[in-house]
Structure 1
């Protein structure tokens, strides 16, 4: 063994024996729990409430080009719409069967901002209610997902 290796091993052994070597202990991050459920989520952001953490895409449509997704959180029992590959000015809506017209709390809309290609809406209640999403392009073309 070389002299440097022996010195390193000896120093490490001395530190371990004296107990002066401290090893940091890191706790695992706590599981984030949802901050709302069902109608209590209406109008709230899926990311700020933690509802997006266990969400899944339950319906999608790309007929007009951009990908329109209806997202659902089983933890929060709420749904929202996300669009990607869109253009500024495109409008999306998340709706549930409690209202035919787009009015809160049965519908929330968002527009893709200038310089962006994606957006998402606030959530609608999806606890025992059917929800769906729609995309309206700037040129007036419109497409909606199936209900979920």
Structure 2
């Protein structure tokens, strides 16, 4: 009886590992297909929509200190800002239209206390130029060029 239970437990473990894509020696799981495009991505997470897969950095800040990147997904035709080496309280924005930060054209994220990185929700970048800005806790602001 013990050998049957052990065999069943081993088979169940193997099945779970196979389904999760973590079996040693297996190829990496296929990237998640993008779940939105253009304006339908506005305000959504690049990670939960799969837009972060195969995304690329198209602009970077020139400031010494935190690295702010404007990320772009050609599959989703959307952009977002990612910052690393920042301090809690620094604020990043992804924008795609001029003027004040408004819903669907600007998404901001403040780096949480005790953290050094963050990313914004996405803005539509289908036929629209997007850019990113970083406002440091000390009030300094730096923005990328538009893409």
The question of a shared fold, defined as TM-score above 0.5 by the shorter chain, is answered with yes
Q: How far off is 1:30 after superposition? A: 4.0
Matching residue of 2:85: 85
Higher alpha-carbon Rg = 1
TM-score when scaled to structure 2?
0.79
- 8 Å CA contact 1:64–1:143 kept in 2: the answer is no
**Number of the residue aligned with 1:58:** 58
- Which segments of 5 or more consecutive residues in structure 1 lack a partner in the other structure? 1-23
The answer to whether the Cα contact below 8 Å between 1:59 and 1:145 also exists between their aligned partners in 2 is yes
Aligned mates of 1:121, 1:44 — CA distance in 2: 9
Shift of 1:72: 0.1
How many pairs does the alignment contain? Answer: 124
RMSD of aligned Cα (Å) = 1.7
**Is residue 119 from structure 1 mapped to residue 122 from structure 2 by the alignment?**
no
The runs of at least 4 aligned residues of structure 1 exceeding 4 Å deviation read 24-28
- Any idea what the Cα deviations from partners look like across 1:87-129, whole Å, max 9, x if unmatched? 00000000002x4210110000000001100000000000000
Give, in whole Å, the separation in 2 of the partners of 1:130 and 1:64. Answer: 25
